[in-house]
Amino acid sequence: PCLLVLQALQKEVRAALGPGDPREVLSSVCRLRVTREDLGTLREGQWLNDEVINFYLQLVVERSRKAGYPSVHAFSTFFYTKLLSGGHTAVRRWTKGVDIFQKDLLLVPIHLTVHWALVVIDLRKKTISYYDSLGQRGTKICQTLLHYLQEESRSKGAPELAASGWTLHSLEASQIPQQRNQSDCGVFLCKYAEHLCRETAFSFSQKHMDSFRKQMVWEILHQRLL
């Protein structure tokens, strides 16, 4: 039975990545849609696009609603770029209807032109951590996001958020799984987020990326994480 299930999953993934109308919507959740063309970025060697990353992080958020998981809010892949260009004013309405300070973890995908990274803000521990699969530093990014939190707190009429109580750090390359090619940064971002939001140690490496890509296709098609 296990083999039959695996074969069925593989057949479904192949069909989704196969020929067809690139504009066909293959999955949707919370006003996010993924087309056949979007899913194509999960083929081996392709860079994941915004739609796939946003969709996957939303699946992480949906899972976090279950008992036993920390509560999670995921920002859009467009959030940080907008924050950089226009400051808090430009993204003030992005949290309309959600009090981010009532969450445990905030996920901030970072688009660095030709590279993806992830910032995780732990509101319980008051930490802002930068995860980069190429081992790059993200100190300024963490500082920008701390300033955003201060502005957001002020705009919501909450008490002043003191920077002195917060710890900002970039994870060293030796501390987290690293990519060994030029195309898997988006997959690493997603898997960092998935592991951190179920509070489990990283147990993957570059060799798992191809199978992760296939698994992510299935998870997106079925709107749930395995």
Residues designated as active site: 115, 132, 185
Q: With 0-12 CB in 10 A as exposed, 13-18 as middle and 19+ as buried, what is 157? A: exposed
Reduce the DSSP state of residue 107 to 3 states and report it.
Answer: strand
Q: Which two tokens stand for residue 184?
A: 């898997």
Q: What is the spatial distance between Cα 204 and Cα 193, in angstroms, rounded to a whole number?
A: 13
> Around 108, how many Cα atoms within 13 Å sit in the side-chain half-sphere?
25
CA dihedral 72, 181, 132, 145 (to 10 degrees): -70
Q: What is the spatial distance between Cα 30 and Cα 47, in angstroms, rounded to a whole number?
A: 23
Q: Which two tokens stand for residue 10?
A: 């593989």
Reduce the DSSP state of residue 79 to 3 states and report it.
Answer: helix
Q: Please list the residues that pair with 106 across neighbouring strands.
A: 73, 121
207 phi/psi in degrees, rounded to 5:
-65, -15
Q: What is the spatial distance between Cα 172 and Cα 31, in angstroms, rounded to a whole number?
A: 36
